[in-house]
Structure 1
């Protein structure tokens, strides 16, 4: 079982950081190189990864992962369209980029591209984010039908940090602000050290299907970067929306 878990962890990190070598994987996962190498051989033999171009072996994902992911859900087409846009957004911002999708009363992270900066935001694929306390969630709420927002406000909004919005009127005012400027901002409302700027992917009015976000430590989310990243992520989300219509 331990070997299986190691292989899955290696697979996830290859997906997030590709192309990546055995040494970097060992450092990121804090496991011996020999264990990482065994996992890489297993994943390569099974067809999940392959060596990337270049003299030094660095691993990348194969299309098998996308195919299996597509059978597990309906977001394969979204990923296909979004990933190139996410790559450009990462190039422009040099920060970690997330793609999330709504699932009942939360957002689920389905794709991420990480920054090369040493201090970064790390979150596993499949992680759930709250609607009212994340930039992704607020972007989705701001573009959802009124009844969706009313249903959320009919329940108590959990507080995660000192800056979490828990008052319904305050949240409604925040959503109006998001609609006016085209993007949402999170200043440590879910995790006190995490900042993000997000915009919704909308192909039909009132029904956002996803959101894109730029994610970074709160210390790097300044007034200037907020404006720049907000414009960039709004443009990226609009591009994804247009390509999916």
Structure 2
């Protein structure tokens, strides 16, 4: 049983830290390197993880982990609907477009369409995004009931950069502004080099099932670009939400 628990813990840590080496993973799991090395060998043989390119050896999740997660959350249907809309959005703005889904209190990146520009934002699939310090996270948080927001705030607002919203009242005001304009913004609040806009995809009962974002290097983001991208991403999220509603109503 302990071996199974170690494997599951390793998958969670790899998803959060990837690409990650055995030493860093052992420290994160607080286990001996020899134990973690055996666990990595088992997961690799089973096809759940693979070695990243380059040296030293570091590990990343394979698509098997993503597919299982998508099946568990019903995200495969979401992806089928969302990707064509995301592709049109990317063709118009030529910036990186992301799809993220809520998982409990977490927001997880599940799809990425990259820009053709040489300077770009690249986040690994499976990346956990902070609810209060990322555009995707804030878009989803703003679409949740007030009780969910208060539980999130009560758990503590981690500080990532000089612009992270760590004051509860400022975050509440920001969420009200997001609801009013229809999209969230992030001006280097999680990583100083990353700016973004995002809008929630609403499902049954008006609750968020995903968010779509456009991510731009902070050096390229201007107020005018943010407003333009915000309008586009809000329209894209609304289109995906409408398509999902049509699927639910189709016999």
Q: Normalising to structure 1: TM-score of the pair?
A: 0.73
2:152 aligned with 1:160, yes or no? no
Measured after TM superposition, the shift of residue 71 of structure 1 is: 3.7
What residue is the counterpart of 1:190 in the other structure? 190
Structure 1 runs of 4+ aligned residues shifted over 3 Å read: 7-10, 64-73
Q: How many residues are paired up?
A: 196
Deviations 1:45-102 (A, max 9, x none): xxx9xxxxxxxxxxxxxxx999766545421000000000010111111000000001
Change (3 A) 1:162 1:77: same
Contact 1:164 1:189 in 2 (8 A): yes
What residue is the counterpart of 1:52 in the other structure? none
Contact 2:201 2:238 in 1 (8 A): yes
2:117 aligned with 1:92, yes or no? no
Return the alpha-carbon distance in structure 1 between the equivalents of residues 223 and 183 of structure 2: 14
Return the alpha-carbon distance in structure 2 between the equivalents of residues 172 and 67 of structure 1: 35
Change (3 A) 1:65 1:130: closer
Return the alpha-carbon distance in structure 1 between the equivalents of residues 148 and 168 of structure 2: 13
Measured after TM superposition, the shift of residue 141 of structure 1 is: 1.1
Change (3 A) 1:206 1:241: closer
What residue is the counterpart of 1:78 in the other structure? 78
**SS at structure 2 position matched to 1:219:** coil
- Summarize the alignment of residues 26-175 of structure 1 with structure 2, pairs less than 5 Å apart: 29=53, 70-175=70-175
Contact 1:69 1:76 in 2 (8 A): no
Contact 1:66 1:76 in 2 (8 A): no
What residue is the counterpart of 1:202 in the other structure? 202
Question: For the aligned residues, what is the CA RMSD?
Answer: 2.6
Q: Normalising to structure 2: TM-score of the pair?
A: 0.71
Q: What stretches of structure 1 of length at least 5 have no aligned partner? A: 11-28, 32-42, 49-63
Return the alpha-carbon distance in structure 1 between the equivalents of residues 112 and 51 of structure 2: 15
Contact 2:66 2:110 in 1 (8 A): no
Change (3 A) 1:223 1:168: same
Contact 1:136 1:211 in 2 (8 A): yes
Return the alpha-carbon distance in structure 1 between the equivalents of residues 158 and 65 of structure 2: 35
Change (3 A) 1:81 1:163: same
Change (3 A) 1:92 1:9: farther
Change (3 A) 1:74 1:117: same
Change (3 A) 1:30 1:120: farther
**SS at structure 2 position matched to 1:238:** helix
Change (3 A) 1:124 1:75: same
Q: What stretches of structure 2 of length at least 5 have no aligned partner? A: 1-40, 56-61, 246-251
Return the alpha-carbon distance in structure 2 between the equivalents of residues 109 and 191 of structure 1: 15
Deviations 1:218-242 (A, max 9, x none): 0111011101100000000000000
